[in-house]
Amino acid sequence: MHSWVGLKLSLLMFIVCVTGTLAVISHEVDWLINSKLRIEAQSNQAIDWEAMYANIQREYPNNTSIALNAPLYSNFASIATVNDAERGVLRVFVNPYTGEVLGDAAWYASFQRVVRDLHRYLLAPKGGIYLVGPLGVILLISTITALFFYKRWWRGFFKIRLNNGSRAFWGSLHKVIGLWSLWFLLLIGITGTWYLVEGIMSDAGMRIQHERVLIDEDVLSKRPFMVEHIPVSEVITIATQQFEHFSPNIIVIPRNQTSPIYVGGYADALLSRPRANAVYIDPVSGDVLNVITTKGASALLNWVDMADSLHFGNFAGLVVKLIWLVFGVLLCMMSASGIVVFVKRIQNRRDEGWVKTILGGARFLTYILLLVPLIFGSTIWLYSQNAIAFVLQEQEVLLLVEGDGEFPSATMYIGTKDENTVVHVSFNCASACLPKKHRLELVFSNGDAKKFKSGFSGFRGAPSAVFATSKVPTISHVSVTMDNQEVFQLKPTTRITTDE
What integer pLDDT is reported at residue 410 of this predicted model? 56
The SS3 of residue 142 is helix
Could you give the count of Cα atoms lying within 13 Å of 122 in the half-sphere of its Cβ? Answer: 22
What integer pLDDT is reported at residue 35 of this predicted model? 94
What integer pLDDT is reported at residue 429 of this predicted model? 44
Longest CA–CA separation in the chain, Å: 93
What integer pLDDT is reported at residue 387 of this predicted model? 46
What integer pLDDT is reported at residue 265 of this predicted model? 94
**Cα dihedral 427→431→432→434 (10° resolution):** 40
What integer pLDDT is reported at residue 393 of this predicted model? 35
Cβ atoms within 10 Å, residue 444: 17
Query: Running DSSP on this structure, what letter comes out for residue 161?
Result: -
Closest C-alpha among 60, 37, 54, 33 to residue 98: 54
**Cα dihedral 376→382→386→391 (10° resolution):** -30
DSSP 303-359: HHHHHHHHHHT-SSHHHHHHHHHHHHHHHHHHHHHHHHHHHHHTGGGGGG-HHHHHH
What integer pLDDT is reported at residue 190 of this predicted model? 96
What integer pLDDT is reported at residue 162 of this predicted model? 74
What integer pLDDT is reported at residue 15 of this predicted model? 87
What is the C-alpha to C-alpha distance for residues 336 and 344, in angstroms, rounded to an integer? 12
What integer pLDDT is reported at residue 457 of this predicted model? 42
What is the C-alpha to C-alpha distance for residues 432 and 6, in angstroms, rounded to an integer? 50
What is the C-alpha to C-alpha distance for residues 337 and 166, in angstroms, rounded to an integer? 11
User: pLDDT truncated to tens, each residue of the chain (500 aa)?
Assistant: 455 555 566 777 888 999 999 999 999 999 999 999 999 988 788 999 999 999 998 898 877 778 999 999 999 999 999 987 677 788 999 999 999 999 999 888 899 999 999 898 888 877 888 888 998 998 888 888 878 777 777 777 777 777 777 777 777 888 888 889 999 999 999 999 999 999 898 888 777 777 778 788 778 777 765 667 899 999 999 999 999 889 999 999 887 667 889 999 998 777 888 889 999 999 889 999 999 998 888 888 899 999 999 999 998 889 999 999 999 999 998 888 777 766 666 665 555 555 555 555 556 666 666 666 666 666 666 555 554 444 433 333 333 333 334 445 555 666 665 567 777 665 544 344 445 556 778 888 888 888 877 543 444 445 677 777 777 777 777 777 766 777 667 665 444 333 33
The SS3 of residue 91 is strand
Residue 195 contacts residue 338 (beta carbons within 8 Å)? no
Could you give the count of Cα atoms lying within 13 Å of 460 in the half-sphere of its Cβ? Answer: 14
Going from the C-alpha of 217 to that of each of 64, 337, 397, the distances in angstroms are 21, 61, 14
Residue 248 contacts residue 263 (beta carbons within 8 Å)? yes
Return the amino acid letter for 299.
Answer: A
What integer pLDDT is reported at residue 158 of this predicted model? 79
What is the C-alpha to C-alpha distance for residues 41 and 169, in angstroms, rounded to an integer? 47
Predicted TM-score (pTM) of the model is 0.72
